[in-house]
Every structure is written in C-alpha cells, then in structure tokens.
A and B are shown apart, each in its own frame.
Chain A
Amino acid sequence: MPREITYREALREGLDEELAYDDNVVIIGEEVAEYNGAYKVTEGLWKKWGDKRLIDAPISEAGFIGMGIGASMLGIRPVMELMFYSFAYVAFDQMMNNAATCRYMSGGLTNCPIVVRGPANGGTNVGATHSHTPENIFANMPGLKVVSPSDPYDVKGLIKSAIRDNDPVYFMESTVLYGMTGEVPSNDELEDGELIVPIGKAKVKREGTDISLIAHGRAVLTSLAAAEILAEKYDINAEVLDLRSIRPIDENAIMETVRKTHRAIYIEENKPFCGIGAQVSSMIMEQAFDDLDAPVLRITSADAPAFYSPPIEKLQLPTPEEIVERALTIC
C-alpha cells in the first residue's frame, strides 16, 4: 500500500530534505520558526534545525525578500515564505526588478537562487487583498520561474527542484490544498533515493480522448471532478493535463494532448485578462490550429476582486459544473 501524506506534510518533507542536502538552504519568513508556520508548513523544522536555518522575519516583505535576494547572490539558498502570496505585492520591486533582472543587467555575472513560496489562492473568504493569484504577473517577467503544484507528490518533488535551481523560482501553493492527501512514496521506495519533479514538465492526470482540460494549481482538481461528470453523464472522455510549471511551460505536453483530443479548455483560478489560459490558448492557436475542432475556451475566476461573502465567493471560482457546461458547447 503506497504511503499517503498531506500536501502540507509533503511540502515539509521536501523542505526538510533540502535543509539536510545543502547547508546554504535557509528558511526565512513570518512565523516560520517558533510559531511553526502560519499554515504549519514548517512545523517542527525550527526545533530540528535551530535558529540558523529557520528564521522568523518581521512583517517586512520588501525587506526580508530583498535581503534574501542579496544573500542568494553570494551563494545562500534562501527559501522565503510569504504567508500569503498576496503579500508579494509589497515586495514587488525586489521580486520583479532585483531577482529577475540582476543577471541580465550584469551580463550574466550574477544569479539569484532564491525560492519565494506561499499560498496563492482565493476561495477562503478573506477578501480581495488576501486572495490574489499572481502567477501570470510573475510569469510575465523573463528571468523568473513560476511553479504551481496541485498534489502532494508534485509539491514535494517540485520544492526540491526549486531549491536546487539556480534561478529565482516563485512557488505558488494553495491553502485549500494543504490538507489534501495523496500518494508520496518514501525515499526508500524510490530507485533514486529521493523524489524530484523537474520544473517545466506537465503531467497527464487523467487520460482521455475527447477534450483536453488543461489547468494548474487547484483548478486541476476541479477539472478532474468535471471529467468524472463528463464521463458519467455525457459519455465524454476528457483528458486532464496539469501544467505544474507555468514558466518554463511544457509546450510539448500541451500540443500533444490537443492533437489527441482536438478540443481544449484552460481552467485556472487566476483572473482572465492575460491569464495563463490566454497564453496557452494563443500557443495552441499558433501551433495546433489545424488540429482544433473547436475554439479553445478559457475558464477563470470571475473578473472581479474576491468577494468576501462565502456563498458568493464560491460562485467566483471555476466549478466542475461550469467546466461541464462549457465543455458541452464544444463537444
């Protein structure tokens, strides 16, 4: 029976293993050490690794993330936690200018091996300021990498890749996923002795032949639920492709599934304007136009700030029913 652990535990295991793997890995963020993590991702790590490796930061994102970027130029591998990815906006200059462009402006003399991780999701009734999904904003900037894992296996494998990567990786999780369980083999079950998921590789989560539901983050789960309904009620066999990485993007996997099913919908909890779906549908149109039997559709969160009122906010996010409804218009 394969081992099942939560997304949160898998993430913590990945962090723990990388703390052991490289002395230069240091975890810094608000409440990550003594408090054990605002969302308990780092629970127990301070006790195990001590003050040098886990550092509680003051509420000062521009300061401590910028500090991490500076330290990374000298070979430290800071893993910075944002309690919410929405708080990236107060560190925007550091994350957009310094992390992304120092390498270019120095003609390749510097690099910033920093990871900035935290939950980037809406749907938890915390209002608009705490519900931002900035994967498209950061993926817009060459020099940055953006990752959005949707299950425990990937979150562990990808955090390890992100920490070992020599470029800045912005690692976007979801508070809604932290408690989700899934299969994550222990290291002694693995041939390589550790679980690594490469950045830039998508994963087919459900094989299908009739339509491709392409998604990232929690929208992958919504898509999987929609695929079940499509199969059961409408005899439509949907393929679900989880991008996992936004930038770099697995273009081949996208084209492969489109060439197989000839229909595609991109589903994300991000906003529609210049969202990931806009990028992906443009790529499909350019490269697989002749393979399409229908226009590529996009399903996103509602184009409005996050609504506080719980029953209404629910309506802002993609649902399996919405995916089914839209899929039926092109199948």
Chain B
Amino acid sequence: MASKSSNKSSTNYADDPINKSLSNEEKIELLRTMVRIRRFEQTSLKHYQGDKIGGFLHLYIGQESVAVGSISLLGDNDHVITAYRDHGHALTVGMGMNECMAEVFGKATGCSKGKGGSMHYFAPDKNYWGGHGIVGGQTPLGAGLAFALKYKGLEGCCLCYLGDGAINQGAFHESLNLASLWDLPVVYIIENNGYSMGTSQARSSAHPEEGLAARAEGYNMAWDKIEGVSIYEVRAGVQKAVERAHKESRPSIIEILTYRHHGHSVADANAEKYRTKEEIQRYKEEHDPIEFWKQTLIAEKVITEEDYKKINSEAGAEANEAADFALKSPFPEESEIFDDIYWEVDNNTEAGRTGRHFFHK
C-alpha cells in the first residue's frame, strides 16, 4: 500500500511498545553508544587537525540518535549498509574504537588494514557491509542484501542509510523500483541533515510538500518522516518499517530529520557560510540528540548528571586510548598492496594461481 504509515496516533513515543520494552540498562547503553561515537569523532578530529589523518573525515556529530536508535532494533538476520559518514553506524553495530581509529590513521591494525579509511568501514561478522564513498552507490547494494535474505528464506531486513543529497542519484531510484517491484525487505533511511554538502535541500531536491520520503509513493512504497533528535521517536518509526520488512517483505523509506554540527567533511571550508552560525548554534543547543536523551533519562530517573559525566569521561578515555593505539600501530607493509584484491589469489586456489593477475612492474 502506498501511504505514509499511520503511526502518529500517539506522539508520546516513550509509550510505544518497542520503547516500553527497553530496560534501564538498555536505555543507558543507547546513551553510552551515542556518547562513544561523539567522543570517538571529537578525538579523530583533533588528530585530523594534527595531521595524523589523511583524506576526508565526515563527522556524524549531531546525528548519533539516527544510527543508535535504528540499529538498536535489529536482530541476527538484519543487516546494515551506509554511505561515507559511517563511524556512528560502525560503532553502533559493535566495531571497536581501536580498529576504527587505527583505520583513519591508515594503520595496519585498522578494520580494513588501512585500505579503506574513514569512509569505508566494514564488519561482515556484525552484518555491517560498509562504508561506501560514492553518494547513493550503496543503495542498490542494500537492495541486494535484502534480496539475498529473501532468497535464502530468512526473516530479516537491510537498513540502508543515505543522506538527503543521495536521493537525487539515479541508482537510488532504480533501487526503489526494484525493492518495491520484488518485495525486498529493505528499509531506506534518509538521514536528512538539510544539506547535500553545501547545497541546501531547497536548492537540491524537488519533492512533495510532505517531505523527501514522500517520493516513495511514486514507487508504491510505504514511507514515514520522523524527528531524529529523540531515540524514542527514531525507534518507534523505524520499528514499523523493520516489522513491515520482516512480516510482509515490503520496503520502506524513512526520512529522519537530523543535523550535522560540523561541515560536510572536516575539509568543508564553507561549513559556516552556507549555514548561519545562528542556525548551527540553535541546533547544537536545542536539537542535540545526546543532550535530549540525557535529559530524557534524567527525567525518567534512569540516570543522574553524575552518571552521565562518568559515561562521558569513560568514552573520552576510551577514545584517547584508541588514538594511542592507532598512533603506536604500524603502517601497513608495502607488500600488502597486492593482498585483498582477488579472493582466489588471497586464498591461493588453483584459479588464483592460473594466469597473470597483476601487471605492475
């Protein structure tokens, strides 16, 4: 059915069954994960500015509730794939700070042995399939992961994240058509931070008044648009889509309104030009997901301010230790250049030994 999910009968998302079922420990873990993401990124930013990190660094700061809230809903047969702003998703699925930090430092101990960098984290053992650098390029892969689940007869889904800038890529539209046509259990989550790099939504996307996700109607697909600052709302909204994928094998688009405190990447020199300082400040003060969740948990008497401070300092210490680990780790060996290109070569199979695979020198 092509319609926006009608799940807004109650706006008190804390009362949604999926949130009522959360234990205090689980609520604290959600907070801890968001704080760990933030401290990880703040630490990586410091080292980026200290010239220890190359290339790009796309910070997730301000958007943490999206990954943390949605991934907290997943089970053993559910999978995750995202774009290049991927640190938050990676830490949420359970990747360690050490391997993630070492990766941005380009070290051999990184999760991709230093071959992928900040934009390309992978952890298949945690059902996490990247980390993709080309805007929208991961969206057909997300449909494919869902296809594989359905093909194997597993009740699972794929959460495929993309930014609001990615919705104008052709590959995304092709994916939506396939997902709906073939009843694939994929949930496309548009993390709408308002800007595709330096171009505002108004200047980049034509869309129905109701929002970006409403484009789903053109593909006979369910959609929803939710406010991302609250973990409760993210969980309540995404859960409907996950259930739709699990029970009906139907795709959805969920647009989650969020905001990035920093620029598109750390190299974004205009981060305070295409957005006013006042706007950034307002989001930091009024829409910070960590602050919002912290206050929620304090109001619920789940934590105290002291508890929060402890969580924050522990996460900071963990991030610093990860940076030390990364700094002390060796760079990859030059000999590793030709590893991890062909499975058959890496595994020294007969196919891998047949014919010349590499042409350097």
Chain A residues packing against B (C-beta within 8 Å)? 24, 26, 52, 55, 57-58, 60, 62-76, 93-94, 97-98, 102-111, 113, 142-143, 145, 161, 165-167, 198-201, 245, 247-251, 279
Looking at the assembled complex, report how far the CB atom of A137 sits from the nearest CB atom of chain B, in whole angstroms.
15
**Which A residues lie within 8 Å of B317 (CB)?**
none
Residue of B nearest to A53 (CB): B151
Contact, CB under 8 Å: A104 / B341 = yes
Identify the interface centre among B79, B123, B134, B357: most chain A CB within 10 Å of its CB. Answer: B357
Contact, CB under 8 Å: B178 / A199 = no
Of the listed stretches B35-43, B107-115, B276-284, chain A binds B107-115
Distance in angstroms between the alpha carbons of A60 and B344 in the assembled complex: 30
Distance in angstroms between the alpha carbons of A60 and B175 in the assembled complex: 9
Looking at the assembled complex, report how far the CB atom of B91 sits from the nearest CB atom of chain A, in whole angstroms.
17
**Which A residues lie within 8 Å of B274 (CB)?**
none
CB contact under 8 A between A251 and B355, given known A67-B140, A70-B145: yes
Contact, CB under 8 Å: B341 / A143 = yes
Looking at the assembled complex, report how far the CB atom of A78 sits from the nearest CB atom of chain B, in whole angstroms.
8
Indicate whether B74 reaches chain A with its CB closer than 8 angstroms.
Answer: no
Contact of A161 among B124, B347, B351 (CB under 8 A): B351
Indicate whether B174 reaches chain A with its CB closer than 8 angstroms.
Answer: yes
Residue of B nearest to A246 (CB): B355
Contact, CB under 8 Å: B341 / A105 = no
Distance in angstroms between the alpha carbons of A62 and B139 in the assembled complex: 10
Contact of A102 among B130, B175, B354 (CB under 8 A): B130
Contact, CB under 8 Å: A108 / B149 = no
Looking at the assembled complex, report how far the CB atom of A166 sits from the nearest CB atom of chain B, in whole angstroms.
4
Contact of A67 among B110, B129, B149, B175 (CB under 8 A): B175
Contact, CB under 8 Å: A109 / B343 = no
Q: How large is the interface on B (under 10, 10 to 19, 20 to 34, 35 or more residues)?
A: 35 or more
Distance in angstroms between the alpha carbons of A62 and B132 in the assembled complex: 16
Residue of A nearest to B139 (CB): A66
Residue of A nearest to B340 (CB): A108
Distance in angstroms between the alpha carbons of A113 and B133 in the assembled complex: 21
Contact, CB under 8 Å: B339 / A108 = yes
Contact, CB under 8 Å: A69 / B177 = no
CB contact under 8 A between A93 and B354, given known A67-B143, A74-B149, A104-B340: no
**Which B residues lie within 8 Å of A94 (CB)?**
137, 140, 171
Contact with A along B325-361 (1 / 0, CB 8 A): 0000000000000011111101101110011111100
**Which A residues lie within 8 Å of B79 (CB)?**
74
Contact, CB under 8 Å: B137 / A93 = yes
Distance in angstroms between the alpha carbons of A145 and B181 in the assembled complex: 31
Indicate whether B161 reaches chain A with its CB closer than 8 angstroms.
Answer: no
Contact, CB under 8 Å: A248 / B115 = no
CB contact under 8 A between A68 and B122, given known A107-B340, A248-B357: no
Looking at the assembled complex, report how far the CB atom of A163 sits from the nearest CB atom of chain B, in whole angstroms.
12
Distance in angstroms between the alpha carbons of A45 and B350 in the assembled complex: 30
Looking at the assembled complex, report how far the CB atom of B176 sits from the nearest CB atom of chain A, in whole angstroms.
9
**Which B residues lie within 8 Å of A109 (CB)?**
112, 122-125
Contact of B122 among A64, A74, A105, A199 (CB under 8 A): A105
**Which B residues lie within 8 Å of A165 (CB)?**
344, 351
Residue of A nearest to B146 (CB): A70
Distance in angstroms between the alpha carbons of A129 and B105 in the assembled complex: 44
Identify the interface centre among A24, A74, A247: most chain B CB within 10 Å of its CB. Answer: A74
Contact of A105 among B120, B173, B175 (CB under 8 A): B120
Identify the interface centre among A58, A60, A145: most chain B CB within 10 Å of its CB. Answer: A60
**Which A residues lie within 8 Å of B359 (CB)?**
279
Contact of B134 among A97, A106, A145, A166 (CB under 8 A): A97
Looking at the assembled complex, report how far the CB atom of B111 sits from the nearest CB atom of chain A, in whole angstroms.
7
Looking at the assembled complex, report how far the CB atom of B154 sits from the nearest CB atom of chain A, in whole angstroms.
10
Given A71-B145, A106-B340, A248-B357, 5 additional A-B pairs, CB 8 A = A70-B81, A102-B130, A106-B120, A107-B116, A108-B346
CB contact under 8 A between A201 and B355, given known A66-B175, A73-B124: yes
**Which B residues lie within 8 Å of A76 (CB)?**
144, 147-148, 151-152
Contact, CB under 8 Å: B141 / A98 = yes
Identify the interface centre among A57, A62, A161, A245: most chain B CB within 10 Å of its CB. Answer: A62
**Which A residues lie within 8 Å of B165 (CB)?**
none
Contact, CB under 8 Å: A66 / B342 = no
Distance in angstroms between the alpha carbons of A245 and B26 in the assembled complex: 55
CB contact under 8 A between A110 and B124, given known A73-B144, A103-B340, A200-B354: yes
Interface residues of B in 153-184 (CB under 8 A from A): 170-171, 173-175, 177-178, 181-182
Contact, CB under 8 Å: A71 / B357 = no
Distance in angstroms between the alpha carbons of A215 and B90 in the assembled complex: 47
Contact with A along B89-116 (1 / 0, CB 8 A): 0000000000000000000001111111
Looking at the assembled complex, report how far the CB atom of A131 sits from the nearest CB atom of chain B, in whole angstroms.
23
Looking at the assembled complex, report how far the CB atom of B131 sits from the nearest CB atom of chain A, in whole angstroms.
7
**Which A residues lie within 8 Å of B194 (CB)?**
none
Distance in angstroms between the alpha carbons of A58 and B79 in the assembled complex: 25
Indicate whether B251 reaches chain A with its CB closer than 8 angstroms.
Answer: no
Contact, CB under 8 Å: A72 / B144 = yes
Looking at the assembled complex, report how far the CB atom of B162 sits from the nearest CB atom of chain A, in whole angstroms.
13
**Which A residues lie within 8 Å of B142 (CB)?**
70
Distance in angstroms between the alpha carbons of A26 and B357 in the assembled complex: 27
7 closest Cβ pairs, A-B complex = A70-B144, A200-B355, A66-B140, A63-B174, A248-B355, A70-B141, A106-B122
